[in-house]
Amino acid sequence: MTEQTLKQWLLTDTPTSRRHAKISAFYQGWLSFRSNTMAMIGLGILVALVVIAAAAPLLAPHDPYVQDLGNRLAPLGTEDHIFGTDSLGRDILSRLIYGARITLYIVALVALIAPVAGLLVGTISGYVGGWTDTVLMRITDIFLAFPRLVLALAFVAALGAGIENAVLAISLTAWPPYARIARAETLTIRSSDYISAIKLQGAGALRIITKHIWPLCISSLIVRVTLDMAGIILAAAGLGFLGLGAQPPSPEWGAMISEGRRFILDHWWVATMPGLAIFTVSLAFNLLGDGLRDVLDPKAGE
């Protein structure tokens, strides 16, 4: 199949099979996404972050844990320390590179836990209805009534400091918006004619939810997850800043800012470099989320 023929096959308006239709829809979505320059910049930054985290031992010029008290608070542009050193003489660039691993670890775990929990709660609430819907939504309202960081602080205080407990605390505070979205989608879908037809064929509630409702909720959740990642990173950095997230000497960006705040006036780079890293990654997730929303929003073409 030539390149021109393949492109025609991918862009056809009359797919020959379900698989063909899915591949064609994915390719057209990619073309739409690729035309969004800002979204591609966000994707590029995140791909670079993944590569940096994966190749941290190769890219880091120094061991991020080795202290050199004779070279503490070295300024930017030093021959052996491009981003300078912290109060213990550790290379800031190396700690930023290794800190990318912690950031991705937090993002990946929260992205696996919170949306799945929200999807389960929201679809069950919307499909079953009645007292089940009332109870689940009131629990959701209770979680939404508290600011995310304050609630995360309460959970970490109960569970104990540590990166795993911080991830669990952030996940416990992040699921309610996904539950709201999934419930709204389910309320719209469950009254559709094709759901009634599936019921007449003998399909049970579990099959309807997993096979026909969940797939239609996924696109909305993906967009929400990417847009929420910036807030999740900031929440994790906030817990690290307060000493409740990753514990020293772990090179977590929030903890690095906390350490550098004592020297912010005379040695500003100690806190500024990890702050810029958090800003860049958060911005990248927001740009990616905006691009995915344009592609996946079913109402975008109306």
In angstroms, the CA 260 to CA 81 distance is: 16
> Does a structural domain hold residue 268?
yes
- Please, are residues 108 and 63 in contact by the beta-carbon 8 Å criterion? no
pLDDT, residue 250, reads 86
> Does a structural domain hold residue 58?
no
Strand partners, 128: none
> Does a structural domain hold residue 65?
no
pLDDT at 5 over 80: no
Strand partners, 85: 91
What is the number of domains present in the chain?
Answer: 1
Instruction: Provide the domain limits for residue 219.
Output: 99-297
The predicted-structure confidence for 148-163, as pLDDT tens digits, reads as follows 888 888 888 888 888 8
In angstroms, the CA 62 to CA 292 distance is: 37
In angstroms, the CA 62 to CA 85 distance is: 11
> Does a structural domain hold residue 73?
no
In angstroms, the CA 246 to CA 167 distance is: 10
> Does a structural domain hold residue 136?
yes
Task: Provide the CATH number for the domain around residue 270.
Answer: 1.10.3720.10
- Structure pTM? 0.85
The predicted-structure confidence for 197-217, as pLDDT tens digits, reads as follows 888 887 777 888 888 888 888
> Does a structural domain hold residue 224?
yes
In angstroms, the CA 102 to CA 251 distance is: 8
User: Percent of the chain beyond pLDDT 70?
Assistant: 97
> Does a structural domain hold residue 188?
yes
> Does a structural domain hold residue 64?
no
